[in-house]
Homo-oligomer: A and B are copies of this chain.
Amino acid sequence: MRLINKFHLAPKTGIAFVVVKGQVIRVIDTDGEQVSDIVCFVKGDTSEYLSSSRSIDYNEKIYLSTGNTLYSNLSNPMLTIIRDKVGKHDFLFAPCSQEMFQISYNIREPHPNCLDNLDLHLSYFGINKHMIPTAFNIFMNATITEDGRLRIEPPLSKAGDYIDFQAEMDLVIGITACSSLKCNNYKNTSIVVEVYDR
């Protein structure tokens, strides 16, 4: 693989960029225990976007890892996980948002959050906040009890761990270094994104 782009995401920030079919997006947890949200849209058609519920349906499971494909709302393959050093990610939670910090933690002052970070960068591609779907929450470790309750635990990722996605179509991609404290074992660190030609 030939490295063609590299993005350094400071803690609590995001980025958006375009990839073409066949390219590989590597998301690296530089310091360990850091969640990174990824969403994507078809390049040139923002009405087709990542769908957690179609992906969960077609893979018949909620924890996706190496070999699994992430689908669009129109049931087309968007990303395939081709390498995964961690193996536990979340696809149930919405990106953290100002509203989430208020509803769940009663925080009323402005708080950095993944939804605003995605919106900031994706808006240049014609994608507005209300169009941002449920993200694939890389390295997020949510455990489900038998009665369906959710418990957020520290990510299993160690410093330098990464996951590789192969683009199955030309895509606009948004990625964050998550701003929540609970999801990231009560600290916020950076994320590095590398894009490779195969």
Any B CB within 8 A of the CB of A56: yes
Copies of this protein chain in the complex: 2
Contact of A74 among B57, B58, B61, B130 (CB under 8 A): B130
Most chain B CB within a 10 A radius of its CB, from A99, A100, A104: A99
Using A60-B149, A147-B63 as known contacts, say yes or no to A100 and B74 having CB atoms under 8 A apart: no
- The range of chain A's interface size is 20 to 34
Contact residues of A between 73 and 103, Cβ < 8 Å to B? 73-75, 92-94, 97, 99-100, 103
Any B CB within 8 A of the CB of A1: no
Any B CB within 8 A of the CB of A185: no
Q: A62-78 interface mask toward B, CB cutoff 8 Å, 1 = contact, 0 = none?
A: 11000000000111000
Please state if A104 and B58 are interface contacts (CB–CB under 8 Å): yes
Measured between beta carbons, the chain B residues less than 8 angstroms from A103 are: 58, 75
Q: How far is the CB of A176 from chain B (nearest CB, A)?
A: 15
By secondary structure, the A interface counts as mixed
Which listed segment binds B: A17-25, A46-54, A160-168? A46-54
Measured between beta carbons, the chain B residues less than 8 angstroms from A63 are: 147-148
Please state if B99 and A57 are interface contacts (CB–CB under 8 Å): no
What is the interface of chain A, defined by CB distance below 8 A to chain B?
47-48, 51-54, 56-58, 60-63, 73-75, 92-94, 97, 99-100, 103-104, 128, 130-131, 134, 144, 147-150
Closest 8 CB pairs of A and B: A75-B99, A63-B148, A53-B94, A53-B134, A47-B130, A62-B148, A61-B149, A54-B94
Q: Could you write out 28 A-B pairs with CB less than 8 Å apart?
A: A47-B128, A47-B130, A47-B131, A51-B94, A51-B134, A52-B52, A53-B93, A53-B94, A53-B134, A57-B93, A57-B94, A57-B100, A57-B104, A58-B100, A60-B149, A60-B150, A61-B147, A61-B149, A62-B92, A62-B144, A73-B130, A74-B130, A75-B97, A75-B99, A75-B100, A75-B103, A134-B134, A144-B148
